[in-house]
Structure 1
Amino acid sequence: MSRSAVFLDEMGVGPLWRLRQGAAPEAAEAALADIVATVEVAAPVTVPAPVPVPVPVAATPPAEAPAPVAAVPAEVAVVADVAEMAPVAVAVVPVPAAAPDDTAWFDDAPAPPPARQLSDADIAALDWEGLTAAVAKCARCDLCKTRKGVVMGRGDRQGDWLMLASSPSRAEEREGRALPGEQGQLLDNMLKAIAVDAGRDVYITHLLKCRPLDDAGQERLPTEAESAACRPYFERELALLQPRTIVTLGSMAAAGITPGEKPVRGKVRQLGNAAVVATFHPEMLLQDETGKAKARAWADLCLAKSTHARG
């Protein structure tokens, strides 16, 4: 066995293909030697892709033996298979880790524009639903910066009686309801005493829809600017409701309903077509241990009832 055949047999390539009879043995032996040398170089392949192997051209056979040389292409195919089966070193490219969500742009983004504030003329054209929505997002004065909530009126929107307080208390702000709890229960009983159904013919609201607070977080009187900013909401409530009788609850409400006019208990005033009667706030009546304020409140309610009956 020749040296080339022994080498290929050790590699496990397989039996040699012999030249057909008549081919030039010297030329085939030389070509096979070149192929084996190529195999020795190509075996430890470490490049990313197989290295192309040059194809040696066999010597021209003699004229008397025109048969083609078949052994060389067969060996070349074997070498190509060996190159394809050889381990290939693949370059490892590190994959960058996924970057975390970057929300820094959100922090630097400009704040959305504030909701457009309605003018006095816009408020004067609102219906009940639009008025409630406008009060909820109002920013016509600085009370919007400290409030915990707004307090819109409640009750019968077609009622003949309007109960009017000045501004919400802490309890009213927390519950979002005018005169809740004991205050509301006492007012219902007062109205029931003069034969007025608080659940069917009465609407309750405030001149201001937000709770005024000082720097220490304590309740205070509203400023003129705050009262003026909120006045269009009350006037729209008044226009939609069109009550016959208004009962102001507390001195602040009595003074605020007609700015510049000093209220007097026991006297009927007019606001448009409505009669206005002043009395005590239910909170004050709850704190009255002598009963004097309650007696005066009863006289005020009787005056309001008789005035309402004449109107």
Structure 2
Amino acid sequence: MSRSAVFLDEMGVGPLWRLRRSGVAAVEEVVAEEAVAVAVPVAVAEVAPVAEIVIAPVSVPVVAPLIVPPAPVPVPVPVPVAATESDDTAWFDDAPPPPPAKQLTDAEIAVMDWDALAAATAKCTRCDLCKNRKGVVVGRGDRQGAWLMLASSPSRGEEREGRALPGEQGKLLDNMLKAIDIAPETDVYITHLLKCRPLDEAGQERLPTEGETAACRPFFARELALLQPRTIVTLGQMAAAGILPGEKPVRGKVRQLGDAAVVATYHPENLLQDESGKAKARAWGDLCLAKSTHAGRG
């Protein structure tokens, strides 16, 4: 044991072990502090240096926080599903076309009332005109009227509006009827022999075929039976010829269809294009003939 250690041991002063921040304790500092407190009368120069006692730094293991893994999320097990059709619409291309509308027979049409007749006319498939038509034009007016105004087939404007004789044609016809003291709003029914507009491959109007005329005839026949008019005024040459097939129409002559008198005149569209006024003068004579014939049957 060194002399310094003996002196310290005799004075009851032992080394004080203190953990410094740096982890290393310098003995000289501890001894100095304790020596001052005891006040030993010994020259400092006589005290041999105290052997350095080095405390090795203590390595404190850093314990990582315990991380508990989350409970495993159950993964759904795919359940085999029976094969179904795709959600897209590709299947529609392979679907069978809807069944065509039922073609009505003449006997079925012959017992219809007004509403059923109008509905059946709008959905008619009795001829090929139904494939390319843009619309169907049904009759309009007083369903108990004594006067029937009859055209041949719808024009482009009538097909577009779905109404017989609209626009300027209708206004002119109204004025013609008023001229012979007939109220156009009452006692008058307007219709066509054909309910669809006949067109050729180029989209131009054409005369109806015999098959188209025959297919549409039951609708007009039923209108005639429900209306039971006293006087029929045909508008245009085609209507005059079509109402009585096989009989040549003549203006100024009264013909007969059942109990109804038939008088032919010009179509309002032809009168609108008449710049000379001659056709309008003749139409006035036709209307006067129809008026007198109608009155004689009253």
TM, length-normalised to structure 1 = 0.69
**Once the 2 structures are TM-superposed, how far is the Cα of residue 104 of structure 1 from its aligned partner?**
2.8
Which of 231, 234, 247 is residue 220 of structure 2 equivalent to?
A: 234
Q: Distance in 1 between matches of 2:73 and 2:113?
A: 75
**Once the 2 structures are TM-superposed, how far is the Cα of residue 102 of structure 1 from its aligned partner?**
3.1
After superposing the two structures, state which structure 1 stretch, 103-112 or 252-261, moved more: 103-112
**Once the 2 structures are TM-superposed, how far is the Cα of residue 259 of structure 1 from its aligned partner?**
0.4
**Once the 2 structures are TM-superposed, how far is the Cα of residue 106 of structure 1 from its aligned partner?**
2.5
Matches within 5 A, 1:45-84: none
Q: Secondary structure at the match of 1:226?
A: helix
Q: CA 1:95–1:169 in 2, change beyond 3 Å: closer, same or farther?
A: same
- 2:280 counterpart letter in structure 1: K
Instruction: Confirm or deny that 1:219 pairs with 2:205.
Output: yes
Which of 165, 173, 181 is residue 187 of structure 1 equivalent to?
A: 173
Q: Distance in 1 between matches of 2:93 and 2:147?
A: 51
- 1:235 counterpart letter in structure 2: A
Cα deviation per residue 1:3-58 (whole Å; 9 max; x = unaligned)?
xxxxxxxxxxxxxxxxxxxxxxxxxxxxxxxxxxxxxxxxxxxxxxxxxxxxxxxx
- 1:279 counterpart letter in structure 2: T
**Once the 2 structures are TM-superposed, how far is the Cα of residue 107 of structure 1 from its aligned partner?**
2.3
Q: Distance in 2 between matches of 1:292 and 1:93?
A: 91
Aligned residues: 226
- 2:248 counterpart letter in structure 1: K
Aligned to 1:203: 189
**Structure 1 residue ranges, 4+ long, deviating more than 3 angstroms after superposition:** 85-96
**Once the 2 structures are TM-superposed, how far is the Cα of residue 271 of structure 1 from its aligned partner?**
0.1
**Once the 2 structures are TM-superposed, how far is the Cα of residue 172 of structure 1 from its aligned partner?**
0.2
Q: Secondary structure at the match of 1:234?
A: helix
Aligned to 2:158: 172
Instruction: Confirm or deny that 1:145 pairs with 2:124.
Output: no
Q: Kindly, what percent of the aligned residue pairs are identical?
A: 79
Cα deviation per residue 1:173-213 (whole Å; 9 max; x = unaligned)?
00000000000000000010000111001000000000000
More helix by share: 1
Which of 109, 133, 140 is residue 123 of structure 1 equivalent to?
A: 109
After superposing the two structures, state which structure 1 stretch, 104-113 or 182-191, moved more: 104-113
Q: Secondary structure at the match of 1:275?
A: strand
Q: Distance in 2 between matches of 1:117 and 1:131?
A: 13
CA contact (8 A) 2:233 2:265 kept: yes
Which of 275, 282, 288 is residue 296 of structure 1 equivalent to?
A: 282
- 2:284 counterpart letter in structure 1: W
Aligned to 2:89: 103
Which of 243, 251, 259 is residue 273 of structure 1 equivalent to?
A: 259
TM, length-normalised to structure 2 = 0.72
**Once the 2 structures are TM-superposed, how far is the Cα of residue 115 of structure 1 from its aligned partner?**
1.6
Rg larger for: 2
Aligned to 1:4: none
Q: Distance in 1 between matches of 2:157 and 2:184?
A: 20
Q: CA 1:106–1:203 in 2, change beyond 3 Å: closer, same or farther?
A: same
- 2:283 counterpart letter in structure 1: A
CA contact (8 A) 2:102 2:125 kept: no
Q: Distance in 2 between matches of 1:264 and 1:108?
A: 56
**Once the 2 structures are TM-superposed, how far is the Cα of residue 90 of structure 1 from its aligned partner?**
7.3
Aligned to 1:134: 120
